[in-house]
Amino acid sequence: MARMSQTHVDYRLSQLDQLEAESIHIFREVAAEFEKPVLMFSGGKDSIVMMRLAEKAFYPAKIPFPVLQVDTGYDFPEVLATRDNWVNRLGVRLIVASVEEAIKNGIVVDDGKTSRNRLQIGTLLNAIEENGFTAAFGGGRRDEEKARAKERVYSHRDEFGQWDPKNQRPELWNLYNGRLHEGEHMRIFPISNWTELDIWDYIGREGIEIPSIYYSHQRRVFERDGMLLSESEHNPCREGEVVEERTVRFRTVGDLTLTGCVESTASTIEEIIAEVAIARVTERGATRGDDRFSEAAMEDRKKEGYF
């Protein structure tokens, strides 16, 4: 924690400090220029890093905007517990937009074929519209996926919440343009330039709480489409799928019916970092069923208004 208090003889900032400074700048810029920002907080590692950066950006004042979680109804209980700890410690207001509620109210349609992940889109857009949010912070990173590699830090959404990748505003220096028309909103990606490894290094350096399922644990799992999925009432086994107990951890956390885990004995941040540094498969490729439907799966969902 005392890392910055010494004199910098050569006036150099490590890359992680530079990323932190850039992200904090973005948080402050949005808080200054937007009427109603909100932080999309899933309780996953990327949104936890966002929370930490927001905490630092406004300290010792409280974070000047609420946080929004889209509850699929299929979230890991460990993740929800961590979410609540963060929200309570920082004293921010939590808004939960429930996919189940949205289905009940006819905002989205559960046809039995559409994943909860996809149903989050309508639920999220509805929550943004209902609350009149003009800026929504998301934890997307450009190293995650090809469509995200081309997305701006300030990503404009039209009145339908859609992203138009071919018509993005140029983004120069650190001068962000937050102009909006009635009904439009901006998605803000303050950790665009962070990589998966940076996220882990930062969590390690800051010593902050993340859901326990990121660490190695015993879990009853079965294999589907080359992924290890959790045994759960929401996710009944199909014919031929065998449940067995394995030593696993999660690299990403999302809808538990779609988020796979990997076999791992990494039980400390240092061990996770070592594992990430030599990983040969992207975190989304390894563990996210939602990104596998087509090569352009993320691009399509983003255009519709996904995170």
Partner 1 sequence: MSTTNMDLLRFATAGSVDDGKSTLIGRLLLDSKSIFEDQLEAVEATSVGKGYDYTDLALLTDGLRSEREQGITIDVAYRYFATPNRKFIIADTPGHVQYTRNMVTGASTADLGLVLVDARQGLTEQSRRHAVILSLLRVPHLVLAVNKMDLVGYSQEIYEKIHAEFTQFATKLNIPDLEVIPISALNGDNVVNRSENMDWYSGPTLMHHLEHVHVASDRDLIDARFPVQYVVRPKSDEFHDYRGYAGQVAGGVLKPGDEVVVLPSGMTSKISRIDLFDQEISEAFPPMSVTVHLEDDVDVSRGDMIARVKNAPEPRQDVDAMICWMTTTPLKPRQKLAIKHTTRTGRALVKDIQYRLDVNTLHRDQDTKELGVNEIGRVQLRTTVPLLSDAYAKNRATGSFILIDEATGVTVGAGMING
Q: Which residues, 178 to 197, sit near partner 1 by CB under 8 A?
A: 179-181, 192-193, 195, 197
- Of these, 36, 103, 279, 304, which contacts partner 1 (CB under 8 A)? 279
Asked if 271 touches partner 1 (CB under 8 A), the answer is no
205 binds partner 1 (CB under 8 A): yes
Total residues binding partner 1 (CB under 8 A): 73
Minimal distance, residue 288 CB to partner 1, in Å: 11
Among 70, 119, 147, 262, binds partner 1 (CB under 8 A): 147
Cβ proximity to partner 1, 2 vs 242, nearer residue? 2
The separation between the first and the last C-alpha atoms of the chain, rounded to the nearest angstrom, is 32
Least distance from partner 1 to the Cβ atom of residue 15, Å = 4
Binding mask 154-173 for partner 1 (x = CB under 8 A): -----------xx-xxxxxx
**Residue from 100, 101, 110, 143 binding partner 1 (CB under 8 A):** 143
- Which positions from 60 through 79 interact with partner 1, judged by CB under 8 A? 60-62
Q: What secondary structure, in 3-state letters, does the chain show?
A: CHHHCCCCCCCCCCHHHHHHHHHHHHHHHHHHHCCCEEEECCCCHHHHHHHHHHHHHHCCCCCCCCEEEEECCCCCHHHHHHHHHHHHHHCCCEEEEEHHHHHHCCCCCCCCCCCHHHHHHHHHHHHHHHHCCCEEECCCCCCCCCCHHHCCCEEEECCCCCCCHHHCCCCECCECCCCCCCCCEEEECCCCCCCHHHHHHHHHHHCCCCCHHHCCEEEEEEEECCEEEECECCECCCCCCCCEEEEEECCCCCCCCCECEEECCCCCHHHHHHHHHCCCCCHHHHHEHHHCCCCCHHHHHHHHCCC
CB 304, min distance to partner 1, A: 14
Report, in Å, the least distance between residue 234 CB and partner 1: 26
Residue 299 near partner 1 by CB under 8 A: yes
Please choose, out of 14-22, 127-135, 210-218, 243-251, the segment that lies near partner 1 by the rule CB under 8 A.
Answer: 14-22
**Does residue 174 bind partner 1 (CB under 8 A)?**
yes
Determine, following the binding rule CB under 8 A, whether residue 126 of this chain makes contact with partner 1: no
Q: Which is nearer to partner 1, 55 or 78 (CB)?
A: 55
